[in-house]
Amino acid sequence: MVEVDRGLPLEKIEEFSLEELLGMAIKAEIGAAKFYESLAENIDIEVLKEKIRFLAKEEKKHEAFLRKMYRETFPDKEIIFPKEHIGPELQPVARKLEEIEDVIDLYRWAMEAEKIANEFYLKLEDRVDDEKTKRILRSLANMESAHYFTLKADYELLLDWEMYSQMMHIGP
Amino acid sequence: MVEVDRGLPLEKIEEFSLEELLGMAIKAEIGAAKFYESLAENIDIEVLKEKIRFLAKEEKKHEAFLRKMYRETFPDKEIIFPKEHIGPELQPVARKLEEIEDVIDLYRWAMEAEKIANEFYLKLEDRVDDEKTKRILRSLANMESAHYFTLKADYELLLDWEMYSQMMHIGP
């Protein structure tokens, strides 16, 4: 069983400033990238490694987009990283995943985090007026949805491990 | 302006046998892979090429899954490829895409095709009884949703080409 801090519910967004929310988003993207990198490292299923590395790369690009957005919205201001976290806070995977149940658990948490990230960016879009910034936030929301469904597609198959390992020619 | 055959509406699914629908799905995956390969070839935006090639690779895997499903569901039967097509029939891109409007048009068609592919697989799931086959079809449906949102994320940004080219450091 994998334990993950559930974080604050999405509604709590209302209690933070735009600066804090952007800081939170940057922190979450850094965390997600580290999570996916460590997951790829510790998972023994070759077909999944590649996809998870791709997700890590994408989250790093999101971090860069958000940092640029922050610089343009709040020039000359240091980024504030609030200690709070909206939605599950994905932690780096610190050990080899021997049991398929642990992989399934982590996929479930990652899906939940991606789903909330999608909603988070859409809510953030409501908080800004600039059309370009809105567009980037909508695009980020769509990317997180893409991640959600990418994970869900494999999650669905992993639930029947016998079938999956046969399909992917894994194991003896 | 890019012209694409809109194909049959999704409801027409009811008029075909499972064999025909699987044949249609295999044909659609082959077509989608060729479409994405030719799109990657003819698009001059480096950041998009890589993502589109990834989509092509995925559609090829789907074709393989479906062929296996066909063999297992209808052993010793040749695949029937109906001439009909549910949803837009993506054709290979035959020329360099010089105008961003053409890229945007093709993204819009591809998004529509992926959306219908998602619904197609979910409807196909209703037509089969075997739990493993259902699971694979649900997973395919999720993968097509992931493609849809991947395309939509870039589509959103492409609509403001000036911003996009700046963001991606494209052009002079």
Interface pTM, i.e. ipTM = 0.94
The structural domains of chain A, with segments of one domain joined by +, span 13-168
Interface of B with A (CB under 8 A): 54, 65, 68, 131-132, 135-136, 138-140, 142-143, 145-150, 152-154, 156-157, 159-160, 163, 167
- CATH fold of A13-168 reads Ferritin (1.20.1260)
Nearest chain B Cα to A69, which residue? B167
**Residue B166's pLDDT is what?**
86
The whole-angstrom separation of Cα A76 and Cα A81 is: 16
Judged against a pLDDT cut of 50, whether residue B172 lies above it is answered with no
Interface-testing mutation among A60, A67, A156, A164, with chain B (most B C-beta atoms within 10 A): A156
**Residue A102's pLDDT is what?**
94
Nearest to B146 among A68, A135, A146 (CB): A146
Nearest to B139 among A138, A139, A156 (CB): A156
Residue A149 to residue B152, Cβ atoms within 8 A: no
A24-57: buried (b, 16+ CB within 10 Å) or exposed (e) per residue?
bbbbbbbbbbbbbbbbbebbebeebeebbebbbe
Tens of pLDDT, residue by residue over A112-126, are: 999 999 999 999 999
Looking at beta carbons, which residues of chain A come within 8 Å of B52? none
Looking at beta carbons, which residues of chain A come within 8 Å of B157? 135-136, 139
Residue A138 to residue B156, Cβ atoms within 8 A: yes
pTM of the model: 0.95
**Residue B154's pLDDT is what?**
97
Share the mean pLDDT of chain B.
94
Q: Which residues contact A142 (CB under 8 A, 6 or more apart)?
A: A118, B149, B150, B152, B153, B156
Tens of pLDDT, residue by residue over B119-167, are: 999 999 999 999 999 999 999 999 999 999 999 999 999 999 998 988 8
